[in-house]
Every structure is written in C-alpha cells, then in structure tokens.
C-alpha cells in the first residue's frame, strides 16, 4: 500500500449470542460468517452484555439472544453508547424476558415480566407471546427505505412475535396476526398488526430490530425436554432473511464516526 492510499478503518464489533430454547450455536456461526465478509470487521463474542470494556470500544453491536437481560449497569452503558452514536442490530429474542409460572391460575404458562424497562425502551419493544409456529406473511411498510428497497412481501414459517412497543418506531416490515399466543399468560389480546423490522433512534445512534430468525436443534429445549424431534431453521431457510441480515449489517456499519 502506498503512502497516498487510504487505509480502511477497522470496525470493532461485539456479538452477543446466548440464552435458552434456541440453537445459539447455529445463529452465532451464521452471523460470524456474514460479518467475516468484510475484512474490516473484527468481532468479539460474548454470551451476555456484562463486558462493559468491550462494549465501550465497539463501533457496532449485534445480538441474538433469548431471555438474556443485562444488569442495570450494562443497560445504562448501552444507553450511553447508543446516544453517542453506536448502532445495534438486535435479532429475534433479544427483547425477551421469560418465566414459567409454577403456581396460581396461570401455572404452566410463560410470563413476560416487565423487569427491564430501560432495556425494552432502548430496543423499542418487548416480546409478550407468539402463536404456534406456522406460515405467515411479512409485508413492506416502507418500500422507499434503503433497508427494504426492492424487498417484496414474503411468507415465512417462524415465531410471529406479539410485541409491546415503546417509543417512536420507524417500521420497515410488519405482519398481521389473527392468532392468540400459545402457552403464554398475555395471549387473549394478541391479534393485531406487529412490526417485524424497525428502527428506533437514540441520540446519534440507533437500534435496528428484526424479530425473525427462530432456530432450534434437537438438544435446545433441555432440561425442559430431552430431545426435540426436528431441526428448525424458520426464516434462516429464506434468501430474503439473509438479505435483511446483510443489509442490516451494512446499515449499522454506516454509522456516523
């Protein structure tokens, strides 16, 4: 490289991949493969949000988790990082807090306790429930945005997230739901229109959220269930999902320096 050539700046990425009831190994590997398509990106991988030193040095953040709630200190660090210009691509169950109730009228059902209001405000939503995994249509709410330009409505078989939303969201993809949640405490009022892919701004930074991407292997329901009979890849089987992942990664890399 000559002295007159510009060296491309390094992009420091933190990938949070952890939690329960999902094939985290599969999602982690797929995301790392996508990140490796750009040699500028150098990625550190963690199972939770508690390495605040790594977060402070990150340019971009990606998360694929289920029931992984940051400590209050970590949530405050995430808020400060976003406000200063960080961009976070949050996937699937990042917005979930889940507890199985063992007593009372809802014993045996999953609850979504509001234990992390700051986290959910940062993300722009909290998972409440989902119906059975069945095919549903995802439609384009903003066809003019670069993240969705040229994307057409598509059918996927995935977890359709019933969400409690927080703040002003720029919805890019959405879906209509007519089914109640299955096995969840808050399920009766679930039918409606829900965002699938959206942006929530925070100061100079932003969160990009994509609810798609459920995945599960044979061993991922232990100890609740010893063996799950199928390997489920859901939206990961669709080229359009990988297109949304690549576009999202490109979008968070385009943050203001």
The CATH number linked to 240 is 3.40.50.880
pLDDT at 2 over 90: no
In whole angstroms, give the CA distance from residue 243 to residue 247.
Answer: 6
pLDDT at 189: 81
pTM: predicted TM-score of the whole model, two decimal places? 0.97
Q: What is the pLDDT of residues 62-84, one digit of tens each?
A: 999 999 999 999 999 999 999 99
Contact yes or no for 50/75 (Cβ under 8 A): no
Q: What is the pLDDT of residues 143-196, one digit of tens each?
A: 999 999 999 999 999 999 999 999 999 999 999 998 999 999 998 788 899 999
- The reply to whether 152 falls in a domain is yes
Q: Helix axis angle, 239-253 relative to 24-35, nearest 10°?
A: 60
Is residue 197 situated within a structural domain?
yes
* Domain assignment of residue 66, yes or no: yes
193, part of any domain: yes
215 assigned to some structural domain:
yes
| 6 lies in some domain | no
Kind and range of the H or E run holding 141: none
For residue 1, is it within any domain? no
Domain interval for residue 25: 11-253
The domain total for the chain is 1
pLDDT number for residue 188: 79
Asked whether residue 4 is assigned to any structural domain, the reply reads no
Nearest by Cα to 190 from 133, 129, 136, 138: 129
């Amino acid at each position: 490289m000559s002295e007159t050539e510009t060296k491309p700046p390094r992009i420091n990425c933190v990938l949070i991949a952890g939690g329960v009831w999902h094939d985290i190994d599969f999602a982690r590997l797929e995301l790392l493969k996508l990140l490796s398509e750009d040699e500028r990106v150098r990625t550190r991988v963690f199972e939770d949000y508690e390495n605040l030193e790594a977060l402070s040095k990150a340019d971009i953040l990606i998360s694929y988790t289920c029931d992984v709630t940051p400590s209050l200190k970590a949530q405050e660090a995430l808020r400060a990082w976003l406000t200063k210009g960080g961009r976070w691509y949050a996937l699937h169950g990042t917005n979930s807090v889940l507890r199985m109730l063992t007593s009372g009228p809802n014993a045996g059902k999953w609850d979504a306790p509001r234990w992390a209001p700051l986290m959910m405000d940062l993300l722009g939503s909290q998972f409440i429930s989902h119906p059975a995994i069945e095919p549903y249509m995802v439609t384009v709410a903003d066809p003019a945005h670069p993240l969705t330009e040229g994307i057409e409505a598509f059918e996927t078989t995935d977890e359709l997230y019933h969400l409690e939303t927080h703040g002003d969201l720029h919805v890019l993809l959405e879906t209509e739901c007519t089914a109640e949640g299955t096995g969840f405490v808050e399920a009766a009022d679930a039918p409606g229109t829900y965002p699938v892919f959206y942006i929530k701004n925070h100061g100079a930074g932003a969160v990009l959220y994509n609810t798609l991407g459920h995945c599960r292997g044979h061993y991922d329901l232990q100890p609740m269930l010893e063996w799950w009979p199928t390997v489920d890849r859901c939206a990961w089987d669709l080229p359009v999902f990988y297109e949304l992942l690549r576009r999202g990664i490109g979008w968070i890399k385009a943050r203001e320096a």
